[in-house]
Amino acid sequence: MRIAIASGKGGTGKTFLAVNLALKAAETQTTLLMDLDVEEPNGGIFIQADAADVHKVTRAIPIWDPGACNLCGKCISWCKFNAIIKLGEMILVMPPLCHSCYACSELCPMQALPMEQQSLGEIRHLKLGKLDFTESKLDIGLEQSSPLIERTLEFADEHFGDKELQLLDSPPGTACAMVSAVKTVDYVILISEPTPFGLFDLNLAVETVRQLGLPFSVVINRDGIGNNDIYKYLEKEKIQLLAKIPHQREIAEMYSRGEIIYQQVPAVDEALNQILSKIRSLS
Ligand code: SF4
Ligand code: SF4
């Protein structure tokens, strides 16, 4: 069972929910938590494990061979990501735009664009009791979240396919990084907050998971702030409200200190019980 925890925007409590849910689940079953917010992963702050093993991730980039190239310019039109340009008598590949699709390299009639492996980022793995945790981090300056997310999911299949529960802390938003993360899961938990911004972004996230054809439900964090519009929206759209986590200052304070919250706040523990009960009913 692979579950994504996602949100339409950052700052709604996605990592807070993912980490606490994973640690609670790991009390009774083997659990994998993947932090796929690869531009800014922070789940590792809360996982107090000593040892970490680090796996370097590379990606293939075409390298122009001026000796072989006849400057026909066809590679420029083949690249759907505008990663190749011609400057005078030079072909320039722009790695930040390249999606490693191999099209230019495979189609070049002169074999003038051989692919070369370059660093993309790393996957850090921690183990704590029944919990395995991976944190994927993109190299500074790179923008290709999706290839690293896909490599992390392959890594999880290879090393942790036997875990009873796999939780995935998705990148925020509804762009391609989020889609790359959630498209292979069995179920999505969307977390939002009862504010106009929360509702606006939840709406986008709901449209995205509906287009992906994924079953989902919603957890509301910071219940008690804002207004009731988000609850009316859930009712109107017939979306299951899985749990509510109350707005309490002590939760924010504990989170800012890197503490695990469900062991200290009964309302959070109760919300996690409701969510785990739903997850277990899915298997
Ligand atoms: S397709 Fe190959 S030969 Fe033609 S310009 Fe591009 S690199 Fe050069
Ligand atoms: S590998 Fe694909 S994305 Fe990268 S430069 Fe070539 S055609 Fe463009």
Residue 104 sits in a domain whose CATH number is 3.30.70.20
Q: Are residues 182 and 253 in the same domain?
A: yes
Q: Are residues 240 and 106 in the same domain?
A: no
Q: Are residues 103 and 224 in the same domain?
A: no
Confidence of residue 63 (pLDDT cuts 50, 70, 90): very high
Separation CA 280–CA 276 (nearest Å):
6
Q: Which of 110, 111, 115 to mutate to test the pocket of ligand 1 (most atoms within 8 A of CB)?
A: 110
Residues with CB under 6 A from ligand 2: 62, 78-79, 81, 83-84, 93, 98-104
Residue 23 is encoded by which pair of tokens?
């640690």
Atom of ligand 1 nearest to the CA of 64: 7
Amino acid in position 274: Q
Separation CA 170–CA 21 (nearest Å):
14
Q: Which of 86, 101, 111 to mutate to test the pocket of ligand 2 (most atoms within 8 A of CB)?
A: 101
Range of the domain at 217: 2-58+121-282
Residue 155 is encoded by which pair of tokens?
């890594």
Q: Are residues 47 and 69 in the same domain?
A: no
Domain count, the chain: 2
CB 20 within 8 A of CB 122: no
Q: What is the pTM of this model?
A: 0.86
Q: Are residues 68 and 168 in the same domain?
A: no
pLDDT at residue number 172: 85
Q: Which of 98, 106, 108, 144 to mutate to test the pocket of ligand 2 (most atoms within 8 A of CB)?
A: 98
pLDDT at residue number 77: 96
Q: Are residues 185 and 199 in the same domain?
A: yes
Say whether pLDDT at 106 is over 80: yes
Ligand 1 centre from 48 Cα, in Å? 51
Say whether pLDDT at 44 is over 90: no
Torsion of CA 212, 216, 221, 227, to 10 degrees: 80
Q: Are residues 140 and 245 in the same domain?
A: yes
Ligand 2 centre from 267 Cα, in Å? 50
Q: Are residues 90 and 218 in the same domain?
A: no
Calculate ∠ Cα 186-131-263, nearest 5°. 100
Q: Are residues 93 and 229 in the same domain?
A: no
DSSP 159-171: HHTT-SEEEEEPP
For residue 171, the domain's CATH number is 3.40.50.300
Say whether pLDDT at 55 is over 80: yes
* Residue identifier of the C-alpha nearest atom 4 of ligand 2: 98
- Ranges of H-type helices in the chain: 14-25, 74-78, 103-107, 145-160, 176-182, 196-211, 229-236, 249-256, 266-282
Separation CA 63–CA 65 (nearest Å):
6
What is the residue whose two structure tokens read 């790359």?
180
Ligand 2 centre from 13 Cα, in Å? 36
Residue 126 is encoded by which pair of tokens?
């921690």
Q: Are residues 242 and 127 in the same domain?
A: yes
Last residue of a domain, one of 78, 113, 148: 113
Separation CA 92–CA 77 (nearest Å):
13
Last residue of a domain, one of 113, 131, 147: 113
Residues with CB under 6 A from ligand 1: 69-75, 91, 108, 110, 112-113
pLDDT at residue number 108: 97
Give the ligand whose atoms come closest to the C-alpha of residue 109.
1
| pLDDT per position as a tens digit, 131-186 | 999 999 999 888 778 889 999 999 999 999 999 999 999 988 888 888 988 988 99
Q: Are residues 107 and 226 in the same domain?
A: no
Separation CA 169–CA 125 (nearest Å):
15
Last residue of a domain, one of 75, 94, 113: 113
Strands 115-128 and 52-62: antiparallel
Q: Which of 104, 115, 120 to mutate to test the pocket of ligand 2 (most atoms within 8 A of CB)?
A: 104
Separation CA 12–CA 17 (nearest Å):
9
Say whether pLDDT at 187 is over 80: yes
Task: Identify the CA nearest to 202 among candidates 226, 186, 180.
Answer: 226
Read off the pLDDT of each residue in 112-133 and give the average, rounded to a whole number.
Answer: 94
Q: Are residues 246 and 182 in the same domain?
A: yes
